Structure 1
Amino acid sequence: MKFTIQRDRFVESLQDVMKAVSSRTTIPILTGVKLLVTDEGVTLTGSDSDISIETIIPKIEDEHVIVEIERTGSIVLQARFFNDIIRKLPEDTVMIEVKDNLQTFIKSGNAEFSINGLDAEEYPRLPQIEEEEVYKLPTDLLKAMIRQTVFAVSTSETRPILTGVHWRIEKNELTCVATDSHRLAWRKAPLESDLNHSHSVVIPGKSLNELNKILDDSQDLIEMVLTQNQILFKTKNLLFFSRLLEGNYPDTSRLIPNESKTDVILNAKEFLQAIDRASLLAREGRNNVVKFSTIGNESVEISSDSPEIGRVVEIVQTQSITGEELKISFSGKYLMDALKAIDSAEIKISFTGAMRPFVLRSIDNDFILQLILPVRTF
């Protein structure tokens, strides 16, 4: 195997597959990156059994030669060392050659490395997925949906199913739900598909975070293929496989209140900044608790106190307040996460009582919803 490749393009693809490589694995060869060189180009693969990532670097892209191939072949190289070497090479191109004994030579400018490789035949095969049911949606929309839900997954392994995001496909509509049992994030969007099937899967939050880092913010369509225990995300030069979590996700629809006793409409940016300021002291206390009280029908009081530090009180003007007077306490961090996820100029918060979950919605659309459980302080 022998080829010469544009270093920047190689580094970019290598960074992507590195997201699937773990140093803690029971299968030693998975600490490596697999290189496969064919007449079409170079394919890089990284896997940790849960996530597998394959990137394809074509020989020619946009009429530019990216890879010059002298001999095809394959090799597995220690990921951490190989990645560091390629990143720090001096020239714009790099030549890689594998000799008969798996000895791999890397040359760029005056720098030469020789590292030991492993037999690519011993590298586990990627899942073979029948692409019978393919769903499509714009890449930037998928990224937004991940960002607006994945932060609410549980970080505790006591209920493993809650460490994932529940995806439900029904009538060509995708609904994503994440909850850690203290808050809930909900988002839906239409899919491009001729299928009229239903699916219910739970994707690990870690997988979705890694996918989000790799994807470009473009309107190109990304393909999604589902099986019983795997999901594949596919773009022009990328395959991203993730295992699915086993088990039944709890029915979260009954958590979302259908009615409210108090509705508050606010400027989201001003409200976020006020909560951020109140959280400066709340962080020092227990649970980052911020208190929220309605004042008449035009403003709310936001406050927090820390016995060691002091107290903060701020009055925030509202667009409107309807319904009963309200005093409620909640986690400042959870509310800030929710406001950032909604990403709307104006938001409506619907309360059903001081100790009941409350809901944040965008005034502009009904595709997104955030729910937070209050904290007992009053």
Structure 2
Amino acid sequence: MKFSCKKEDICAAIGNVSKAVSVKSTITALEGIRIKLSYTVLELTGYDLELGIRSTIEAVSEDCGEFVVNARLFSEITRKMSDEILTFETDEMLNIRITGAVTEYCISAMSAEEYPDLPEVSDEHRFLVPQDQLKSMINQTAHAVSLNENKPVMTGALFDITEDGNFNMVTSDGYRLALRTEHIDTAEVHRFVVPARTLSEVSRLLKEDAKAPCGIYNNFKHIVFELGEITVFSRLLEGDFHNYRASIPPDKRTEVIVRTRELVNCLERCALLINEKNKAPVRCVFENGTVKVSCKTGIGSISDTIPVDLSGDAVTIGFNNKFMLDALRASECDKLRIHLSGGNRVVKIIPPEGDSFVFLVMPVDLKY
């Protein structure tokens, strides 16, 4: 078979699908990219049995056929070619000739028969989420994903969609929790857990400024994300995600309104004294319209103060500096409300208005 396409298009497609290619596998074909040609449609697929990415581009051809080629080598060759249009031709022995105006490569390919099929998932219960919304939801919850492989279900994000159309994305590692909510046009109830790695790749492919929808559907074992010419397939995580609603405190004794950048800058100054060998909680005293922040480690000590709007009781509390910084950076807000219920109760962080997100951070015992 023979086809031609733009170098820019095929390089972009290779870059996208390569994220799902196995680095090392007992199935050699999984270390490659499947190339499938149907006349003017060229389909590239990477798949490691957990995550699959398929990208479709335009080609000039009158042929059909498919083959598998080593992903790393194919990527390097196409990237190094200097021509705007590349031509690919295979023979009966599965040798691929890649040519430009003056440069020509000839490499070996594999039969596509050795390449596993992507999972078949019905789109009967498909729902749509604007790409910019979905990207924001993933980015705002990524920081609280658990890294503990002993409980795999917590290493992903819960998609909890209620009958009134509220789409809740939730992550939690036991020390913090992130909940992001958007309203979507569906009356169907969905509840499943998507691996964090999958969402990281989906976020990379989503466009921040795109209102175009992302189609999502699943069969309780696999999930599919449709992003125009790119489709992502993934296994779902099995197990029971914990009751996140029970973790969110219903009331507060103290409300603090703070400028996000001021608190981030303050905690970043504290971070200069904290590392793997010198760990200590950050001490915060909320009182009299200020928060007094201090930290003491083997490297040194710091004391700092920033203004806040405070209503309610004075509170002294300690917390993990990185966990609080992660939540603040994920907020995407100029100001935040912080709800406190005492020095030994969870910290709740929400936007200045509404509750489009809720971040929880567990307190840490203070020894000074």
Specify if TM > 0.5.
Answer: yes
Query: What aligned pairs does 1:167-316 form with structure 2 within 5 A after superposition?
Result: 167-171=159-163, 172-193=165-186, 196-217=187-208, 218-283=210-275, 286-287=278-279, 289-296=281-288, 298-307=289-298, 309-316=299-306
Question: 1:288–1:333: 8 Å Cα contact kept in structure 2?
Answer: no
- Find the aligned partners of 2:354 and 2:43 in 1 and give their Cα distance: 42
Instruction: Please list every run of at least 4 consecutive aligned residues from structure 1 whose deviation after the TM superposition is greater than 6 angstroms.
Output: none
- Find the aligned partners of 1:75 and 1:275 in 2 and give their Cα distance: 53
The more displaced of 201-210 and 356-365 is 356-365
Q: Which residue of 1 aligns with 2:94?
A: 102
Question: 2:157–2:170: 8 Å Cα contact kept in structure 1?
Answer: yes
Instruction: Give the superposition deviation at 1:22.
Output: 1.7
- Find the aligned partners of 2:280 and 2:200 in 1 and give their Cα distance: 25
Question: 2:280–2:296: 8 Å Cα contact kept in structure 1?
Answer: no
Q: Which residue of 2 aligns with 1:64?
A: none
Q: Which residue of 1 aligns with 2:43?
A: 43
1:56 counterpart SS class: strand
- Find the aligned partners of 1:152 and 1:88 in 2 and give their Cα distance: 39
Q: Which residue of 2 aligns with 1:90?
A: 82
Where does structure 1 lack aligned partners over 5 or more consecutive residues?
Answer: 59-66
Count of aligned residue pairs for this structure pair: 365
Question: 1:279–1:290: 8 Å Cα contact kept in structure 2?
Answer: no
Question: 1:342–1:369: 8 Å Cα contact kept in structure 2?
Answer: no
User: Which of 313, 328, 335 matches 1:346?
Assistant: 335
Q: Which residue of 2 aligns with 1:61?
A: none
1:128 counterpart SS class: coil
- Find the aligned partners of 1:78 and 1:233 in 2 and give their Cα distance: 25
User: Which of 358, 361, 371 matches 2:350?
Assistant: 361
- Is 1:31 paired with 2:36? no
- Find the aligned partners of 1:108 and 1:209 in 2 and give their Cα distance: 35
Instruction: Give the superposition deviation at 1:287.
Output: 4.0
Question: 1:266–1:347: 8 Å Cα contact kept in structure 2?
Answer: yes
User: Which of 355, 358, 362 matches 1:373?
Assistant: 362
TM-score of the two chains, using structure 1 as the length reference = 0.93
Q: Which residue of 1 aligns with 2:113?
A: 121
- Find the aligned partners of 2:103 and 2:275 in 1 and give their Cα distance: 50
Q: Which residue of 1 aligns with 2:131?
A: 139
Q: Deviations over 1:192-250 (max 9, x none)?
A: 23xx2211101000110011112222110111012111110112211111110011111
Structure 2: which amino acid aligns with 1:43?
A: E
Instruction: Give the superposition deviation at 1:25.
Output: 2.5
Question: 1:359–1:372: 8 Å Cα contact kept in structure 2?
Answer: yes
- Find the aligned partners of 1:49 and 1:86 in 2 and give their Cα distance: 25
- Find the aligned partners of 1:28 and 1:154 in 2 and give their Cα distance: 31
RMSD over aligned CA atoms reads: 1.4
- Find the aligned partners of 1:287 and 1:166 in 2 and give their Cα distance: 31
TM-score of the two chains, using structure 2 as the length reference = 0.96
Question: 2:34–2:66: 8 Å Cα contact kept in structure 1?
Answer: yes
Question: 1:136–1:221: 8 Å Cα contact kept in structure 2?
Answer: yes
Structure 2: which amino acid aligns with 1:5?
A: C
- Find the aligned partners of 1:158 and 1:280 in 2 and give their Cα distance: 32
Instruction: Give the superposition deviation at 1:121.
Output: 2.0
- Find the aligned partners of 2:342 and 2:287 in 1 and give their Cα distance: 16
- Find the aligned partners of 1:255 and 1:88 in 2 and give their Cα distance: 53
- Find the aligned partners of 2:88 and 2:62 in 1 and give their Cα distance: 10
The more displaced of 278-287 and 309-318 is 278-287
- Find the aligned partners of 1:84 and 1:56 in 2 and give their Cα distance: 20
Instruction: Give the superposition deviation at 1:286.
Output: 4.1
- Find the aligned partners of 1:212 and 1:27 in 2 and give their Cα distance: 28
Structure 1: which amino acid aligns with 2:166?
A: E
Instruction: Give the superposition deviation at 1:45.
Output: 0.5
1:106 counterpart SS class: strand
- Find the aligned partners of 1:258 and 1:209 in 2 and give their Cα distance: 31
2:109 counterpart SS class: strand
